[in-house]
Amino acid sequence: MDVLSVQLTALPGIPLVQPGDDLAQFIIDALARSSLSLQTGDVLVVTSKIVSKAEGRMIELAKVIPGEQAVTLAEQTRKDPRIVELVLRESQEISRMAPGVLVVRHRLGFVSANAGIDQSNVDGSDDHVLLLPEDPDSSARALRERLLALTGADAGIVISDSHGRPFRNGNVGVAIGVAGVPALLDFRGSQDLFGRVLKISVQGYADMIASASNLLTGEGSEGRPVVLLRGLEFLAQEAEAAELNRAPEQDLYR
């Protein structure tokens, strides 16, 4: 019987990231601290938070002037009108709202609370918020190319975020940017153990990678924003995280 295994390692010592920092070099240094080197076929899961910080996506709330719609929605949701203004700027449409809840379709196409805007682990105050990366797929491709240039290893990259789900309690890791890793694996047309042809089986491969890594990265004070996965078997390919987004006309929870 074949024995399959995947090793997940949270890379130690990633410093607090500042705008313009070289994430690839941080990753290489962290690998060295673990007596590891990057190999072709590895996958690195990098939290969106440190990508956003490196790309300067931090916003000073004092400089945000909420519009009329933001003020109205803030009253209905009991949220800071400045944050609501930023949510509206980062969104295509509002999906659901209630006191304490503002769920939107993000400009990147997925549905999330508060457009992924976060105040945790930003700067230790309530004065700033962090937006998601402008183009996470582009960020993933750039990081992959930079690591390839520095190490000669062609590794896959997944940029992860934490999302809730309309039909289950609790957050899980999801992929909002991918490079060199399939976003989806389509098993339709293959057979099950009994020869039955699969008709609807499509696996959210990059989301599964992100969620597995989230077991190590955590969401609080863990300070482990990069996870190395070794042992996955996949065909390196060009993909986009947008492939994981359900089309609005097929979204039953819209």
Characterize the bridge pairing of strands 156-165 and 43-47.
Answer: parallel
3-state class of 22 per DSSP?
Answer: coil
Characterize the bridge pairing of strands 226-230 and 202-203.
Answer: unpaired
Domain membership flag for residue 164? yes
In terms of domains, do 77 and 41 share one?
no
Domain membership flag for residue 17? no
In terms of domains, do 158 and 212 share one?
yes
Burial class (CB in 10 A: 0-12, 13-18, 19+), 227: buried
Domain membership flag for residue 14? no
In terms of domains, do 124 and 136 share one?
no
Q: What is the mean pLDDT of residues 142-148?
A: 98
List the CATH number of the domain containing 95: 3.90.1660.10
Domain membership flag for residue 10? no
pLDDT digits (tens, 9 = 90+) for 62-71: 999 999 999 9
Domain membership flag for residue 78? yes
Question: Rounded CA gap, 96 and 113, in Å?
Answer: 9
Backbone angles phi, psi at 36, to 5 degrees: -120, 160
In terms of domains, do 201 and 181 share one?
yes
**pTM flag (> 0.85):** yes
247: pLDDT strictly greater than 70: yes
Closest CA to 112 of 98, 102, 121: 102
Could you tell me the pLDDT band of residue 120, with boundaries at 50, 70 and 90?
A: confident
List the CATH number of the domain containing 47: 3.30.1330.100
- Among the candidates 104, 128, 152, a domain finishes at 128
pLDDT at residue number 167: 83
Q: What is the mean pLDDT of residues 215-235?
A: 85
Question: Rounded CA gap, 101 and 251, in Å?
Answer: 19
pLDDT digits (tens, 9 = 90+) for 17-51: 999 999 999 999 999 999 999 999 999 999 999 99
Q: Considering its fold, how many domains does the chain have in total?
A: 2
Q: What is the mean pLDDT of residues 243-248?
A: 88
Owning domain of residue 210: 24-55+132-246
Closest CA to 245 of 190, 178, 145: 178
Question: Rounded CA gap, 58 and 119, in Å?
Answer: 10
In terms of domains, do 29 and 47 share one?
yes
